[in-house]
């Protein structure tokens, strides 16, 4: 990390125009890390433009600087993003580790002349960046960003706005310090952020208590009608089709956290959510303990992520995707 920090220091001292990109459908850690890094860069005298590959949830609209994020899926914003990408001296890649993960944004980033810097905590990073900060011991990219800023000797630049963003990613990726990735360093970083003025009560209220009434009723509908428990009570899954998404007026991000609820059932070790999209089925995998859904998603569903939380996709129909999953699921317990 020291050598990378030294190189980063040099880049920070010379670059004025930068772009920050993150993975499609950004989550709390993607928002928190990109927004915090942007605000930090600006304090260092560098302009940073954040580009999301896709349209994104409004669930995090309360985060400082949220309104500055461009969506590459939105035609008018894409034109602006392309200009920034072409002009950028540095492109920071946060909370993902393979350019192909950027979907329609991949070619633009691949072809950009800018120096690339990766800051990430997922498994199996690709070797595309000039500087790579990649460590799976970190629970969140936000946690790594905090250590990088401190490693640069710039801790004093972390203000309340930056701290709020970092705390949001730290808490969402650890399930508010409940998942197995919660380490002593996670709590140390959390403590550092509290010292910067973060209110844990405020953040947790903003993260958890922002459902529309219809979204809560949709969750209830899923638990009542869509939840299947199989494999001797160890596996739970739900499938949502496009008609249902329409009926409940689902918005981007509305399915976020739904996949975590089946763990309320004692004995459930694996939870999976299938959501039918226009051109594919999106899959979210969650597991407990040593059950590796990252390897499973990589092998069978063109995805990946972490041991206990991964994503994937399928080009089969919803029903055929379910069938394929049920055929392979036993390998998770082998």
d(CA 182, CA 305): 17
**Residue 4 vs 22, nearer CB to Mn ion:** 22
Contact between 254 and Mn ion (CB under 5 A)? no
Q: Tell me the DSSP string of 134-192.
A: E-TT-S-HHHHHHHHHHHTT-GGG--HHHHHHHHHHHHHHTTTTTSTT--HHHHHHHHH
Closest among 283, 49, 245, 38 to 161, alpha carbons compared: 38
Q: Which is nearer to Mn ion, 50 or 222 (CB)?
A: 50
In whole angstroms, the minimum distance from the beta carbon of 119 to Mn ion comes to: 10
**CB of residue 179 vs Mn ion: minimum separation in angstroms?**
12
Q: Between residue 167 and residue 206, which ones bind Mn ion under the rule CB under 5 A?
A: 173
Q: Rank residues 141 and 314 by Cβ distance to Mn ion and give the closer one.
A: 141
| Strand bridging mode 228-230 / 235-240 | antiparallel
Q: Which is nearer to Mn ion, 34 or 141 (CB)?
A: 141
Sign, CA torsion 191/197/199/204: negative
Cα Rg for the chain, rounded, in angstroms? 20
Retrieve residue 60's tokens.
């995090």
Cβ contacts of 274 within 8 Å, gap of 6 or more: 237, 238, 239, 240, 281, 282, 283, 314, 318, 321, 322, 325
63, 64, 95, 165: which one binds Mn ion (CB under 5 A):
95
* Stretch of residues binding Mn ion (CB under 5 A), selected from 27-35, 222-230, 259-267, 294-302: 27-35
Which of 8, 25, 29, 46 binds Mn ion (CB under 5 A)? It is 29
Cα 236 to Cα 257, 308, 326: the distances in Å are: 14, 14, 11
Residue ranges in 112-141 that form contacts with Mn ion under rule CB under 5 A: 141
Binding segment for Mn ion (CB under 5 A), chosen from 165-173, 238-246, 286-294, 319-327, is 165-173
Would you say 95 or 292 has its CB closer to Mn ion?
Answer: 95
- Return the residues of window 269-308 that contact Mn ion according to CB under 5 A: none
Determine the interface stretch with Mn ion among 24-32, 146-154, 263-271, 300-308 (rule: CB under 5 A): 24-32
Closest approach, Cβ 198 to Mn ion, in A, equals 18
Shortest reach from residue 94's CB to Mn ion, in Å:
9
Residue closer to Mn ion by CB (options 29, 322) is 29
Query: If binding means CB under 5 A, how many residues of this protein chain bind Mn ion?
Result: 4
Q: CA-CA distance, 210 to 117, in Å (whole number)?
A: 34
Min separation Cβ 141 and Mn ion, Å = 5
Exposure b/e, 319-334, CB count within 10 A at least 16 = b: eebbeebeeebeebee
Distances (CA, A) of 173 to 15, 68, 217: 30, 23, 25
Q: Which stretch binds Mn ion (CB under 5 A): 29-37, 50-58, 59-67, 186-194?
A: 29-37
Residue 217: CB atoms within 10 A of its CB come to: 12
- Compare residues 95 and 147 and give the one whose CB is closer to Mn ion: 95
Closest distance to Mn ion from the beta carbon of 235 (Å): 25
d(CA 43, CA 65): 13
C-beta closer to Mn ion: residue 89 or 135: 135
Residues that bind Mn ion (CB under 5 A): 29, 95, 141, 173
């Amino acid at each position: 990390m020291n050598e990378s920090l030294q190189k980063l220091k040099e880049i920070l001292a010379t670059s004025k125009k930068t772009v920050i990109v993150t993975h499609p459908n950004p989550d709390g850690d993607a928002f928190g890390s990109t927004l915090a890094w942007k605000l930090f860069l600006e304090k260092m005298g560098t302009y940073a433009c954040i580009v999301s590959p896709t349209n994104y949830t409004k669930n995090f609209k309360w985060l400082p600087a949220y309104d500055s994020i461009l969506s590459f899926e939105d035609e008018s914003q894409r034109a602006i993003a392309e200009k920034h990408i072409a002009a950028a001296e540095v492109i920071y890649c946060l909370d993902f580790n393979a350019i192909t993960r950027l979907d329609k944004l991949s070619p633009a980033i691949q072809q950009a002349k800018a120096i690339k810097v990766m800051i990430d905590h997922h498994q199996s990073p690709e070797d595309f960046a000039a500087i790579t900060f990649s460590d799976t011991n970190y629970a969140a990219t936000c946690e790594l960003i905090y250590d990088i800023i401190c490693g640069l000797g710039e801790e004093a630049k972390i203000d309340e706005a930056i701290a709020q963003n970092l705390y949001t990613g730290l808490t969402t990726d650890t399930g508010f310090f409940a998942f197995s990735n919660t380490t002593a360093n996670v709590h140390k970083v959390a403590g550092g952020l509290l010292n910067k003025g973060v209110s844990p009560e405020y953040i947790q209220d903003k993260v958890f208590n922002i459902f529309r009434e219809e979204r809560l009723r949709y969750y209830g509908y899923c638990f009542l009608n869509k939840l299947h428990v199989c494999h001797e009570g160890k596996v739970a899954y739900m499938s949502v089709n496009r008609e249902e998404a329409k009926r409940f007026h689902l918005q981007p991000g509305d399915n976020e956290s739904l996949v975590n609820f089946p763990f309320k059932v004692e004995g459930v070790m694996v939870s999976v959510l299938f959501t039918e999209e226009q051109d594919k089925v999106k899959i979210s995998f969650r597991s407990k303990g040593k059950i590796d859904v990252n390897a499973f998603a990589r092998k069978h569903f063109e995805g990946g992520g972490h041991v206990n939380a991964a994503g994937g996709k399928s080009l089969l129909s919803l029903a055929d995707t379910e069938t394929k999953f049920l055929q392979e699921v036993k390998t998770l317990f082998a």
